[in-house]
Amino acid sequence: MGTGLGLKKKSGAVATKVKPKSRDAEATKARILAAAKREFAKNGLAGARVDRIADKAKANKRMIYHYFGNKEKLFQTVVEAAYVDIRTAEQKLDLEHLPPRDALEKLVRFTWDYYLKNPEFITLVNSENLHRARHLEKSEVIKVVSRRFVGMVGGLLDRGVADRVFRSDIDPVQLNITIAALGYYYLTNRFTGSILFERDFMAPEALEERLRFNMETIMRLVCK
């Protein structure tokens, strides 16, 4: 009987030691991914340095290679996480409980605000396109979250058609591309655009004007 109690105590002690190690590992991974996101967004895949990532993450290169394999795989994880983040945030908009027109306006506004608040997302997308999406094409997770998003937008369009407020010939993929492009192009060309058109693209009033234009453009495209 005494032996049995002793084994339980020993087992409990082992379990107690494992949990902090697990938490430490997850915390280290999170720091590495956060540092890698900043490094890749700033310098791209070719210009990023594992040494700098390790330094910013307060980790060492050995841990990075242990958790992620190599720089290419780390970049893939970062890009994948960036897309999962925006797709997850879109699902949380709860659009299915809004009238179709209000839901579409909310999606357009969300996309614009997300790009403004997450500039790293745009630069990571640019970088992955330079590499012809060879990292994303390996990701099954991206396919799942993207199909879910297209389904959500398709459902929104169907509800609008049923309510006789949306046109019936709008493809959800084309609509998503257009919503993304209206904000994406403006922000990726904000420096050259400010010179070419002699206005400050990032001034608060310019950003508000652009959002209104984006909103009006999409509503004119989709609404009957």
- Distance from chain centroid for Cα 55: 24
Reading the block at residue 162, the tokens are: 């049923």
- The rounded distance, in Å, linking the Cα atoms of 86 and 84 is 6
73: nearest Cα among 31, 136, 167 = 136
For the cut 80, the answer to whether the pLDDT of residue 17 exceeds it is: no
CA distance 6 to 61: 41
Q: In Å, what is the CA distance from 213 to each residue of 182, 200, 217?
A: 9, 16, 6
pLDDT in the model for residue 19:
60
Per-residue pLDDT tens digits for 181-215: 999 999 999 999 999 999 999 999 999 999 999 99
Q: What is the mean pLDDT of the chain?
A: 92
Single-letter amino acid, residue 58:
K
pLDDT at 3: 47
Residue 94's Cβ-count burial label (10 Å; 0-12, 13-18, 19+) is exposed
Report pLDDT for 34: 97
The pLDDT tens digits of the residues spanning 125-165 come to: 999 999 999 999 989 999 999 999 999 999 999 999 999 99
- pLDDT tens for each residue of 45-95: 999 999 999 999 999 899 999 999 999 999 999 999 999 999 999 999 999
**Taking 80 as the threshold, does the pLDDT of residue 111 lie above it?**
yes
* Closest to 163 measured CA to CA, from 99, 222, 218, 106: 99
Domains of the chain: 1-69 (1.10.357.10), 76-224 (1.10.357.10)
